[in-house]
Structure 1
Amino acid sequence: MTSIVPPSTVASPTNSTSRQPIVLAGRGWTLPPGYIHLGVAKEIAPTLHDFGVDPDPVIREAGLDPRLFDDGTNVIPHAALGRLLTLSVACTTCPHFGLLVGQRATILSLGMVGRLMQHSETLGDAMRALVSNLSIQNRGAVPSLTISGDIALFAFSVYQPEAESADQISDGSIAVAVNAIRALRGSDWRPSEVLLPRFAPVDPEPYRRHFRAPVRFNQETASIVFPAHDLDLRIAGADPMMRSLLEERILQLKSAQGSEFSDDIRRLLRTRLTSNHCSADDIAHLLTMHRRTLSRRLKGGGMGYRAITNEIRFEIARQLLQDTQVPLAQIAAALGYSEASAFTRAFRRWSGQTPTTWRDEGHHE
């Protein structure tokens, strides 16, 4: 099975003063928190080419070596992806650049997880495989799948602190998720609707054209809404032996990768913080451990549960204030505050500013 994945190259974060790209080789497939396999992001270079822009100088300005983009299994910091998308939007003046990147990507852009999806028994199994295993490809964002009655909701959330271009990352991630479902169900598949946590664009047509469904902007999360019964649809050509081999390989990668406990908690919180099931007791129960064990393991990593919860709340708040027009009261409620005033006090503690001031000043790095 080792032949499935070529050895990868890992780009380290660069010194921000020199912006010289640094490349480290030989870390194999272990993926530290805050890093991603290029995967979908590999499509940034050809998308820049489509606009007549030479991608190499843009990639270098983001602190990366352009040679990394030769292979989707190479690894970069999630923060560098955000910087690169910010620069790409600026030099193309295209506000939906992330959508175009996601449009170009395929189910195989999701690497081994995409292959596992292809060999899953049903669409539901494929989506659950994506949710359960994306962490071997991406330690900067987290997917989730929830079913409510006859509606299924696939959501994608950025959870790395101070991520730039979270709106572009969300656009691209939802775009490739729809491509992946179409690869499994047929190119005529369309969601019931798509929700995006970004300002409504001047021209929404590129979104409608790709998703072929109603698109709602200024939403709290990036989500694909579709009928739950679609999850029962069987996938043609799925090979049970290949599925078993891929599952075994992914399990080996997860074991070798290990994980920082605090990063696991961040991933859980990012998908649950807006659903009011995220107390320390809730998370401890989810992980089948005692609350005191949870606290002890987090303190061993230098951060308590409350500090991590506030970090994620601050990250969600910043994304919604920066990229959407969601009202403050709605953001406060989504983050579990009973009143907008309590949210305002917390945000002032975190940032030194009120949410209104922060939004009005337009914190678009």
Structure 2
Amino acid sequence: MATMGRAATLRGFRELVDELGGDGVALLRRFGIAPEAVDSDDAVATSESMGWALEVAATELHCPDFGLRLAERQDFSVLGPLAVALLNAPTVGTALACAQRYLHIHHAGISVELCADPEQQPGVISLNYRDMAEVSAFSQGIDHGAGFLHRFVRHGLGGAYGLRTVYLPHPPRAPAARYAEFFGADVRFDMPTTLLRFPAELLARPMLGSDPMLHTLAMDYLARNFSELDRTMTARVRLAIDRAFLESTADIATVAAMLHTGPRTLQRALSGEGTTFTAVLDTARRDATYRLLLDTDLPLSRITVLVGLREQSALTRVVRRWYGRTPQEIRSQGRAGAVAATHANRRAANAPAENSHTALARLIAPRV
């Protein structure tokens, strides 16, 4: 099963490789990652390909702290829409809770979780960073992820935040002093997992420069579009299909190109999530058809084209399969229901309002 992540995870990779004397474009292509994909918020790549790109860059360029260097130079826009929610959260605790819930939309194989301090020191809490990549040799990816997370917390608080200790699950790849310099704290290697230990009181501290309105809007967007934690690739494909209905043809080749990946890779990722491209397309087509029938006056011939069907008779067949009714019946019944709802709202608006005692009595009165 291919675990997918946003190719933006490697934003800045090309430039860093070039600065170190390598060829960033060629190195990305060697692992099947389109160079332009890293500049997109939608493009995806396999976790394994990104992990190997980091490892090989570090080895071939004789740069053992490559993962830390990449984390050091990236801005938080690599997280796409998630960055807006995180950076505008009211407190550090809220931001980390948001990351715990939605980091999967950036990379399906990575998660963070607040947990008790393994050293049981009072007033200290731990942030556990987990990389589910099955190839345990991806230490550069772990360094990059832990380093990026550390920079985010430091940015949110406007500077040093009292980080006590960092646990890393691999031997030091660069001199230990380099890790201590980067994190500004003691770093322990060959630990069971990746942890950042810091004072628990920081969770209540406000995020620097946050905007509550932007946070609310971003959280609403995430909740509407990325509610199923185990269907990350499915959600991305669904969004791409919805966009393709408006811009082009929603076939697998088009959608894969929109996500900067190949059709076979896309199918493998969807299969790992228990679905297929055909199933996602059918659901998207069903929902789009229903909206167009109820919310527009477009003729059925035009709706047929918009949802990617060739003949109006095909539209009639699939609508019968989905809803047990014809397209025209759905449109007519939907409008009749809307008219009835309008009349009911008008009657309610003209009725005398109940006082609070009357309303309470009605609610608690025994029903016969």
| Residue 156 (structure 1) shift | 1.2
The gaps in structure 1 that reach 5 residues or longer are 1-31, 261-299, 303-365
| Residue 301 (structure 1) shift | 8.0
The percentage of counterpart residues that share the same residue type is 22
One-letter identity of the residue aligned with 2:142: S
Normalized per residue, the structure richer in helix is: 2
One-letter identity of the residue aligned with 2:29: R
| Residue 190 (structure 1) shift | 4.3
Whether the 8 Å contact between 1:199 and 1:218 is mirrored in structure 2 is yes
| Residue 74 (structure 1) shift | 2.1
Q: What's the secondary structure of 2:221's corresponding residue?
A: helix
**C-alpha separation between the residues in 1 aligned to 2:136 and 2:172?**
18
Q: What's the secondary structure of 2:49's corresponding residue?
A: helix
2:140 corresponds to 1:171:
no
Counterpart position of 1:188: 160
**C-alpha spacing 1:84/1:124, structure 2 compared with 1 (3 Å):** same
Whether the 8 Å contact between 1:158 and 1:166 is mirrored in structure 2 is no
Whether the 8 Å contact between 2:2 and 2:47 is mirrored in structure 1 is no
The gaps in structure 2 that reach 5 residues or longer are 233-271, 275-368
Q: Mapping of 1:71-90 within 5 angstroms?
A: 71-90=40-59
**C-alpha spacing 1:106/1:152, structure 2 compared with 1 (3 Å):** farther
Q: Which runs of 4+ in 1 moved over 3 A?
A: 255-258
**C-alpha spacing 1:236/1:202, structure 2 compared with 1 (3 Å):** closer
Q: What's the secondary structure of 1:121's corresponding residue?
A: coil
**C-alpha separation between the residues in 2 aligned to 1:215 and 1:256?**
35
**C-alpha separation between the residues in 2 aligned to 1:135 and 1:86?**
22
Counterpart position of 1:248: 220
Greater gyration radius = 2
1:103 to 58, 69, 72: 72
Q: Greater shift after overlay, 90-99 or 103-112?
A: 103-112
1:120 to 82, 89, 92: 89
**C-alpha separation between the residues in 1 aligned to 2:71 and 2:88?**
22
Q: Mapping of 1:1-365 within 5 angstroms?
A: 34-148=3-117, 149-160=122-133, 162-163=134-135, 165-201=137-173, 203-255=175-227, 259=231
Whether the 8 Å contact between 2:52 and 2:138 is mirrored in structure 1 is no
Corresponding pairs, count? 232
Whether the 8 Å contact between 1:106 and 1:180 is mirrored in structure 2 is no
**C-alpha separation between the residues in 2 aligned to 1:256 and 1:95?**
37
Whether the 8 Å contact between 2:91 and 2:207 is mirrored in structure 1 is yes
Whether the 8 Å contact between 1:155 and 1:224 is mirrored in structure 2 is yes
| Residue 135 (structure 1) shift | 0.8
**C-alpha separation between the residues in 2 aligned to 1:147 and 1:124?**
14
